[in-house]
């Protein structure tokens, strides 16, 4: 997300260490402190590993700064959540660690599987 | 590769944990892997407003090196343009001298550190691929002497250095001596997980995730086999990443062990937060010991 440009990545399981590094760098560049960066990296990793395990073995990441927040979207081409509540400790933890999370059916976004979007407020924003 | 097994011990860390003042041994045996640790080191330095000096294999041009690093993150070319990221070589560093001497090299690195500070950077970090040894026809004993006598360069904590050794080229005995003599030894790749043990204790280093979960669980089980006084220690402070799955596995293993009355989990605040979020899985014998150590 250098210079405010969004971070876009396609990933498989082998890319997860690099995905974590790039998300961490982008979060730091956006102004999150070290602990918040770690929490965002963990939340994104949990979504990405869900995409790999349940969404066809691969996924897409789009991370951008929106106003005073970092917005991160993970999507995949799996079966989606097909009308049921999304299960799993990872998603639950991602919800706990972030300031907002939306779980959508991919059809609403023009993709086949699930789309999960999370938001984390930067410090200056959260303090207000 | 000549079969050199790189073990972990008390001075092993992941490259993400390096900071100014560290002098680190790194190793590789693959021409793609050789870029991974330097790339993390470079981008961490750039994000911390440190100047970064890269001395890769003399056979690799500065443009090629910059392009390889750019594959790991954004901003390498911009950092190069503004003088924060510099590509050089040992031959260039010691110029106009033709042959390497430790005194000359250390003096030049001190100058470069002072220059970086003068330019307004927080410090200088340098990654040196030890392929220069062959390029300059240097004897290995001379290199070993330099590596063991460079402490003064790091005392002010304004300089950090990685010395990256190709396991296909250096003798295993030299590699092991170099690993032990550096104050810090790095995991081979970002994303790796290694562990070392003492009776009833396990120290985990690197990333505990989906890819390394088997190593994580096996290492923890070893600590629980027959701990002295039925007390065990799980040290997570050198982990860079702990997934929810591995955190849950750790709590499950603690709950299942019949050999321990007490298990101390030593960890950093973010890890403690994750474990507390999973408190429904806690057992009575678990003691969480938070440390501020950012390694």
Position with higher pLDDT, B48 vs A124: B48
* Pair B109, B150 in one domain: yes
Within an 8 Å CB–CB cutoff, is residue B213 touching chain A? no
Cα(B239)–Cα(B254) distance, rounded to whole angstroms? 18
Q: Which value does ipTM take for this structure?
A: 0.86
Within an 8 Å CB–CB cutoff, is residue B276 touching chain A? no
What does the angle CA A90 – CA A91 – CA A97 come to, to the nearest 5 degrees?
A: 90
Long-range (24+ apart) CB contacts under 8 A made by A14-18 are A16/A45, A16/A48, A16/A49, A16/A52, A16/B191, A16/B209, A16/B210, A16/B211, A17/B189, A17/B190, A17/B191, A17/B207, A17/B209, A17/B211, A18/B72, A18/B190, A18/B191
Beta pairing class for B286-290 and B262-267: parallel
Q: Alpha-carbon torsion B123, B129, B134, B139, what sign?
A: positive
Q: What is the DSSP string of B184-240?
A: EEE-SSTT-EEEEEETTEEEEEEEESTTTHHHHHHHHHHHTSS-GGGEEEEEEEEEE
Cα(B80)–Cα(B78) distance, rounded to whole angstroms? 5
Is residue B71 assigned to a domain?
yes
pLDDT tens track for B220-265: 999 999 899 999 999 999 999 999 999 999 999 999 998 999 999 9
Measured between beta carbons, the chain B residues lying within 8 angstroms of A46 are: 243-244
**For every one of its 295 residues, what pLDDT tens digit does chain B have, with 9 covering 90 and above?**
456 788 999 999 999 999 999 999 999 999 999 999 999 999 999 989 999 999 988 889 999 999 999 888 888 999 999 999 999 999 999 988 888 888 899 999 999 999 999 999 999 999 999 999 888 888 888 888 888 889 999 999 999 999 999 999 999 999 999 999 999 999 999 999 999 999 999 999 999 999 999 999 999 999 999 899 999 999 999 999 999 999 999 999 999 998 999 999 999 998 999 999 887 777 778 999 999 765 6
Average pLDDT, stretch A16-24?
93
CA distances from A59 to A12, A15, A44, B245 (A): 7, 10, 12, 19
Angstroms from B191 CA to nearest CA on chain A: 5
* Pair B43, B133 in one domain: yes
Residue A2, pLDDT above cutoff 50: no
Nearest CA in chain A to B45: A25
**How many domains does chain B fold into?**
2
* Contact yes or no for A17 and B190 at CB 8 A: yes
Residue with tokens 């300059």: B136
Measured between beta carbons, the chain B residues lying within 8 angstroms of A16 are: 191, 209-211
Residue A115, pLDDT above cutoff 60: yes
The residue from B186, B208, B229 where one domain ends is B186
Local confidence band at A124 (pLDDT 50, 70, 90 cut-offs): low
The token pair that represents B216 in the structure block: 């994580």
Note the pLDDT of residue B168: 94
Measured between beta carbons, the chain B residues lying within 8 angstroms of A7 are: 74
Cα(B271)–Cα(B294) distance, rounded to whole angstroms? 12
* Pair B148, B241 in one domain: no
* Pair B69, B156 in one domain: yes
* Contact yes or no for A52 and B210 at CB 8 A: yes
The token pair that represents B255 in the structure block: 């709950």
The residue from B135, B168, B186 where one domain ends is B186
Nearest CA in chain A to B292: A35
What does the angle CA A17 – CA B18 – CA B136 come to, to the nearest 5 degrees?
A: 100
* Pair B176, B286 in one domain: no
Domain at A69, CATH number: 3.30.565.10
Note the pLDDT of residue B243: 95
**How many domains does chain A fold into?**
1
* Contact yes or no for B47 and A25 at CB 8 A: yes
* Contact yes or no for B277 and A93 at CB 8 A: yes
Cα(B9)–Cα(B202) distance, rounded to whole angstroms? 11
Note the pLDDT of residue B218: 98
Range of the domain at B100: 12-186
3-state secondary structure of B35: helix
Instruction: Give the number of beta-carbon pairs within 8 Å between A and B.
Output: 75
Domain at B233, CATH number: 3.30.750.24
* Pair B209, B82 in one domain: no
* Pair B150, B259 in one domain: no
Q: Which of A5, A20, A96 sits opposite B241 (nearest CB)?
A: A20
């Amino acid at each position: 997300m250098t210079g405010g440009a969004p971070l876009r990545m396609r990933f498989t399981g082998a890319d997860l260490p690099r995905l974590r590094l790039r998300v961490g760098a982008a979060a730091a560049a956006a102004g999150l402190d070290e602990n918040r960066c770690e929490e965002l990296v963990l939340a994104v990793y949990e979504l990405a590993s869900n995409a790999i395990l349940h969404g066809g073995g691969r996924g897409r990441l789009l991370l951008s700064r929106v106003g005073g927040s970092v917005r991160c979207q993970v999507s995949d081409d799996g079966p989606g959540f097909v009308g049921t509540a999304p299960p799993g400790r990872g998603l639950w933890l991602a919800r706990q660690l972030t300031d907002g999370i939306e779980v959508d059916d991919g059809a609403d976004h023009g993709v086949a599987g699930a789309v999960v979007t999370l938001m984390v407020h930067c410090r200056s924003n959260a303090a207000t | 590769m000549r079969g050199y097994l790189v073990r972990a011990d008390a001075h092993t860390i992941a490259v993400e944990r390096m900071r100014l003042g560290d002098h680190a041994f790194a190793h590789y045996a693959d021409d793609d892997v050789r870029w991974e640790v330097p790339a993390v080191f470079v981008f961490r330095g750039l994000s911390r407003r440190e100047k970064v000096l890269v001395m890769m294999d003399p056979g690799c041009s500065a443009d090629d090196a910059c392009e390889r690093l750019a594959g790991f993150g954004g901003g390498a070319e911009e950092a190069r343009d503004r003088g924060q990221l510099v590509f050089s070589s040992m031959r260039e560093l010691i110029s106009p001298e033709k042959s390497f001497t430790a005194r000359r090299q250390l003096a030049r690195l001190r100058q470069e550190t002072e220059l970086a500070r003068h330019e307004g950077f927080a410090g200088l970090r340098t990654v040196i691929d030890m392929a220069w040894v062959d390029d300059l026809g240097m004897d290995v004993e001379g290199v070993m002497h330099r590596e063991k006598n460079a402490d003064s360069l790091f005392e002010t904590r304004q300089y950090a250095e990685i010395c990256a050794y190709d396991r296909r080229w250096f003798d295993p005995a030299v590699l092991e001596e170099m690993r032990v003599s550096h104050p810090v030894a790095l995991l081979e790749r970002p994303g790796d997980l290694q562990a070392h043990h003492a009776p009833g204790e396990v120290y985990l280093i690197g990333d505990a995730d989906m890819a390394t979960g088997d190593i994580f669980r096996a290492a923890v089980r070893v600590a629980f086999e027959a701990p002295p006084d039925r007390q065990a220690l799980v040290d997570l402070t050198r982990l860079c990443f702990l997934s929810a799955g591995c955190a849950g596995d750790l709590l499950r293993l603690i709950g299942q062990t019949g050999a321990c009355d007490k298990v101390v989990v030593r960890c950093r605040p973010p890890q403690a937060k994750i474990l507390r979020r999973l408190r429904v899985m806690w057992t009575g014998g678990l003691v969480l010991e938070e440390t501020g150590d950012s390694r």
